[in-house]
Amino acid sequence: MKRCSHIMNSRRPRSPARFGTSLAALAGALALGTALAACGSSSSSNSPSTKSNSDVSTGVKYAQGLVTGGLKEPTAPVPSAAISNMAALKGKTVYYIPVSADVPAFAITAAAMKTALATAGVKLNVCSGNFTPSGFSSCFAQAIGAHAGAIVSDAIPFQITQGLITEASKKSIPVVVTDVNIVSPRPTAANITYISGSNQQYAMAQDWIIADSGGKANVLELEATDSPTSAAGTAEYAIPALKAHCPGCTVTTLKFSSSNEQLLPSEISALLLKHPNINYIFSEYDQYVPGVMQGVQQASATSKVKIVAAAAALSGLQDVKSSTPVKAEIADNQVYNGWIDADEALRLMAGQAAVTYTIPIRLFTSTNIGSVTLSNAAQASGEWFGAFGYQQQFKHLWGVG
């Protein structure tokens, strides 16, 4: 081991003093890092507002009502307007471009969309954005070059791809932009439509926190800053929902990027040390729960902190069942997402107006986790959300079932 450095040796003597000087530079760098720390604050804390007990009680009752409803199997609403001229769409190909096909939720959506479109004789081609702008561009170029019947862009910030969306639109290729926070300015045209992400799941998580804490929660809210949509999930939906109905709650926000996800555990543990009264942590994405759990463990806070996450996958529900600090998870129906993406694409391809949808979500806690099957097959089928009648209703709208 000691010899590793001696292959490139010289005959000059070692100079401890010089090495010490070099290490002094290291100390200087550390001091610089400390000074820089003042430049950026990742957390902010808000004190509870001075509201009366009746305000707290009202908020708790309101939240309890929503939680009770959220635990049940949700309904899956289907539009009323049928699609005409479906025969002309047979043989066309829809390009589905998720931000990354490696995310299990998008794989489920893709499979559901493929099944849905196949009933109408339309093919599906999946092109992964691979989390990179060049990947998005490549997929859009591929779809445009192949004269796709339609393009479905999933969870890709349209601020990055607006030029490509416009180009596709001008070439008469309809574009469905889904799983985004819809803000202006954005590309608009008759053959471009937007489907919002299921933002109500972020509010549902806050409702559960309010109900579970009796209106006295100290919540650490994780805000992923990777995209405008991810940032909005916490900043525009979760935190406002908590503040609106829980005057006795405090909020501490941790902004982080998935590019430094490896630091999430230490950031969590640092905040738990800094704010020892934190007793709830909300993660807008289930995928960050392992990092959150690690941080909670490092701070030896597993017995006092409850974790709640949205965008739940199988692992999150298994955490709930395993009596870990993860006490609640909210999932949206990815299979339903596949069917509405298909429906919207078919409408635009048929030259009809776009419609709006309400994506079913469900809250999972120890109360109802025993009633669902926790397996990859169950997740992929969408059975966690109840009956599949909506699929037949969509087929009926399309005149194929």
Q: Determine the Cα–Cα distance for residues 242 and 216; give it in Å rounded to an integer.
A: 11
Binds other proteins by CB under 8 A, chosen from 141, 160, 182, 263: 263
* Spatial CA neighbour of 68 closest among 237, 219, 208: 208
Binds other proteins by CB under 8 A, chosen from 119, 321, 358, 400: 321
Q: Which of residues 330-359 bind other proteins (CB under 8 A)?
A: none
Phi/psi at 309 (5° precision): -140, 155
Q: Determine the Cα–Cα distance for residues 267 and 276; give it in Å rounded to an integer.
A: 14
Minimum CB separation of residue 110 from other proteins in Å reads: 12
* Spatial CA neighbour of 192 closest among 6, 348, 69: 348
Q: Which of residues 93-112 bind other proteins (CB under 8 A)?
A: 102-104, 107
Q: Which of residues 165-184 bind other proteins (CB under 8 A)?
A: none
267/343 with CB nearer other proteins: 267
Compose the 354-393 pattern: x for residues touching other proteins by CB under 8 A, - for all others. --------------------x-x-----------------
Q: Is 284 in the site for other proteins (CB under 8 A)?
A: no
Minimum CB separation of residue 318 from other proteins in Å reads: 3
Number of amino acids touching other proteins (CB under 8 A): 83
63/222 with CB nearer other proteins: 222
Minimum CB separation of residue 47 from other proteins in Å reads: 17
Binds other proteins by CB under 8 A, chosen from 171, 274, 356, 396: 274
User: Do the beta carbons of residue 162 and residue 186 sit within 8 Å?
Assistant: yes
Stretch of residues binding other proteins (CB under 8 A), selected from 243-251, 321-329, 357-365, 385-393: 321-329
Stretch of residues binding other proteins (CB under 8 A), selected from 72-80, 210-218, 263-271, 331-339: 263-271
* Spatial CA neighbour of 154 closest among 213, 226, 212, 229: 229
Distance (Å) of CA 16 to CA 13, 19, 20, 22, 23: 9, 5, 6, 10, 10
* Spatial CA neighbour of 328 closest among 306, 358, 308: 308
User: Do you know the residue count of the chain?
Assistant: 401
Q: Which of residues 10-69 bind other proteins (CB under 8 A)?
A: 10-20, 22-23, 25-27, 29-34, 36-43
Determine how many CB atoms are found less than 10 A away from the CB of residue 102: 11
